[in-house]
Structure 1
């Protein structure tokens, strides 16, 4: 399988090439040259497989440059009960007899769904770099959970350094402590005076400097990294099969979304033949994606217009993975995608209403809704009282919006995005008690913190990276 850019016909190489490279040279995102599909018969063959074997079947068509035995070994090393807490890896838990089902994705090392892909990336990076005799310096941005998931996945990886940007003061207390308490030689936490979109733009600006990127071996683990999207597609298959539906029956999925990577993985699964009817995007007060799917206009928001909310991992005004979606609904037209994204870059809205492309959007099964602070408090309280289950505020956004779009006779699966322990302040406000947390995280808020603060300045960031990589220069 070869990969191309969403903004041009340039071949980007194989899976291993795009794993290490981050953004394409033209600023676009890596996409497979084609998307393989499973027939109904083939899907039935996949239904009983354990998670690691299912991951192999779903991911193998896109990873043709790693030998079969090696890829199976990587996936078995990744998806183990010792890492994710159960043989199922992603248990499906119904909320009562008539409620939606929660797909549990947050039982990994950092207590967030990002572990599902990031643990695979850690093993894949190590494998590819060892084979090539290379190193990589990962530059990433996090609104809360990507950072800790990446850092926990890369601990002890001798050929990998992690430089993780986060918006200063805009994560939960637990999220900050979980990242900043790490004092490891290959982990560098950097707080940016700005919002997540500023962090994301700094990552893209560094990637756009081809000379700096090549000289310092800059790679990426954000959801712009294709390997993350591909690994996340697997749990849509696992969740669907766990419903026990007859062959061909549809299921709907509701996904809390800010940067569009998690829900785009569901769209990829749908494009591969999984019978997903609706993909429901749950937004918080930063409802850029809801505006698009409900009205056809995509308008990014400047940093000063990004609200600080109680579901902070979704406090995003520009969804990077949305470019991949536009590319697919354009029929793989890179010129059209580039034109749209040029409009986005110039701060102008992209309006598809009334166009054939809007017909493609509506046919893709996407729906959307939004939630407020009061909504998520009420939802956390209601789920706790009715089902005896505490959920985090992002998952609450998903449960609330998912309920709006439930169809008679069609299961609704809500993706759990984090354990409530990561957002204790909001959960406490909702139900009057602290959520339980794993023993290893007791008292983490009082741990010493290791983090550098910089302004929203790409040259300052590049100097910091260079100084850490070349301490004696």
Structure 2
């Protein structure tokens, strides 16, 4: 399996090299030359597999340059700290089922891919005798998941940008309380998109990138996407009966388009998926795009601070991988779309919009703060289950797309403890925190505040990089 760039300027390269690159040298994103195909017989053969074994099998379709036994060891190590179920499916009201993705160390779905990424990065770096300085941006959960997966690793340092004042107190504590020498938290004056733009600017400076061995753990890193593909297969295998080809639909709370892109890949590989339902919050740029075909990111000042903060994103970096497929894998049209965006503040695929649902199965909807509160309350009253605000966005939008005979699976985003204030507002319940979580919340925090300035970030990296 070889990988190319969405912008056409990268020679095909194997998974391991793609893993360390982050952004492609031409500024594009790595995609497979072609998606691997999975048959109905493959799916049936996979039913008895444990989650680590399934992960090694599915990721192995992409990472063909890594021996399967090494992948099996890495996936076993990655998920060793998870409970036995790893990804439980839990029915709730209205015919919906939650796919439990928040059983990892930071209580968020990002752990599912990040724990594997920590293993495979260390494997590749040790094999090649290299070091990596990971530069990432987070709107809340990516940062803590990355830092907890990479903390203490000798060949890796982590530089994580987060927007000042835009995360929940729990999210800040999970990141800023870490005291590991290889973890550097940087709070940027601005919103997530400003942090992401800084990452892309430095990643696009090839001389600086090479000199400082910069890599990425955001969902621009293809290893994140491929590891997330696994739980779509896992959930389908547990929501359907053996011997059938039952279609299911997935609803995915979406900010940077990475999680739902993994579902898009799974569908393209042959998984029987009827619909991929994108759930946005008030920063509903992606909902507008999938309803109209017009992509119109908001400026930082217009990006709202909401009660589902991990989705407070206006410019979704993974959308480029979808656009690449939409335009028939024509890199010139991808580059042209971004040129239109730079010149006009938007690009327009309204003529292609009917294909979004008809050909690709993608539909969308928006949820608001009031919707979140009402949904958390309704689920709690009906089932006793407490869901976090992002998952509530998913449940609210999913209800509009439930079809008879088609299981609707909603991807859980995080444990409710990460957003306790919103839970209390919704249902009047003060959540219990374990002694370990209370200790984390009370721990001293270590963070560097920085303006939205690429030169300041370059200077900081130059001083602290491996």
Q: Which bracket does the TM-score occupy, shorter chain normalised?
A: over 0.9
Deviation at 1:345, TM superposition (A): 3.5
Match of 2:326 in 1: 329
Aligned partners of 1:439 and 1:446: how far apart in 2? 11
Q: 1:300 to 1:435 in 2, by over 3 A?
A: same
1:468, 1:38 → 2: CA distance?
44
- CA-to-aligned-CA distance 1:40-99 (integer Å, 9 cap, x gap): 12211112211111112211121111112111111111122xx1112x310111115x53
Aligned residues: 465
Please say if residues 253 and 279 of structure 2, whose CA atoms lie closer than 8 Å, have aligned partners that are also in contact: yes
Aligned pairs for 1:66-145 (under 5 A) are 66-80=66-80, 83-86=81-84, 88-96=85-93, 98-145=94-141
Cα offset, 1:2, TM superposition: 1.2
- Counterpart CA distance in 2 for 1:37 and 1:332 is 18
1:8 match: 8
Q: Are 1:340 and 2:333 matched, yes or no?
A: no
Maintained 8 Å contact 2:91/2:98: yes
Question: What is the Cα deviation at residue 333 of structure 1?
Answer: 1.3
Q: Quick check: 1:248 aligned with 2:248?
A: no
CA–CA distance in 2 between the matches of 1:458 and 1:204?
Answer: 10
Q: State the SS of the aligned residue for 2:95.
A: coil
Q: Mean Cα displacement is larger for which, 358-367 or 421-430?
A: 358-367
**Aligned-residue offset at 1:361:** 5.5
Within-5 A mapping of 1:2-401: 2-80=2-80, 83-86=81-84, 88-96=85-93, 98-245=94-241, 247-355=244-352, 358-359=354-355, 362-401=358-397
Question: What's the CA shift for 1:36?
Answer: 1.0
Query: Which shows bigger deviation, 360-369 or 342-351?
Result: 342-351
Equivalence for 1:413 = 409
Deviations 1:216-239 (A, max 9, x none): 100000000000000000000001
Alignment deviations for residues 125-183 of structure 1 (CA, whole Å, 9 cap, x no partner): 11000000000000000000000000000012110000000000000010011100111
Deviations 1:299-348 (A, max 9, x none): 11110110110000000000000000111122211111111122234453
Which stretch shows the higher mean deviation, 293-302 or 109-118?
293-302
Give 1:359 deviation, angstroms: 2.4
Relative distance call for 1:35 and 1:302 in structure 2 (3 A) is same
Q: Is the 8 A contact 1:380 1:431 kept in 2?
A: yes
Does the alignment pair 1:442 with 2:403? no
Over residues 188-234 of structure 1, what are the superposed CA-to-partner deviations in whole Å (9 max), with x where a residue is unaligned?
Answer: 00000000000000000000111111111000000000000000000
**Change over 3 Å in CA distance of 1:276–1:439 after alignment to 2:** farther
Q: Are the aligned partners of 1:300 and 1:347 in contact in 2 as well (CA < 8 Å)?
A: no
Q: SS state of the match for residue 402, structure 1?
A: helix
Contact preservation (8 Å) 1:90, 1:104: yes
Which residue matches 2:456? Answer: 460
Unaligned runs of 5+ in 1: none
| Structure 2, unaligned runs of 5 or more | none
Q: Please, what is the CA RMSD of the aligned residues?
A: 1.3
Cα contact 2:107–2:415 (8 A) shared by 1? yes
| CA distance, structure 2, for counterparts of residue 19 and residue 10 of structure 1 | 14
* SS of equivalent residue, structure 1 residue 327: helix
Deviations 1:9-37 (A, max 9, x none): 52251111011111011100001111011
Structure 1 residues 347 and 188: alpha-carbon distance in aligned structure 2, compared to 1, 3 A threshold: farther
Q: Deviation above 6 Å: which 4+ runs of structure 1? A: none
* Distance of 1:69 and 1:40 partners within structure 2: 24
**CA-CA distance at 1:362 after TM superposition:** 3.6
CA distance in 1, matches of 2:44, 2:338: 39
Counterpart CA distance in 1 for 2:18 and 2:97 is: 34
Per mean C-alpha deviation after superposition, the further-off stretch among 266-275 and 340-349 is 340-349
Cα distance change on mapping 1:9 and 1:46 into 2, 3 Å: farther
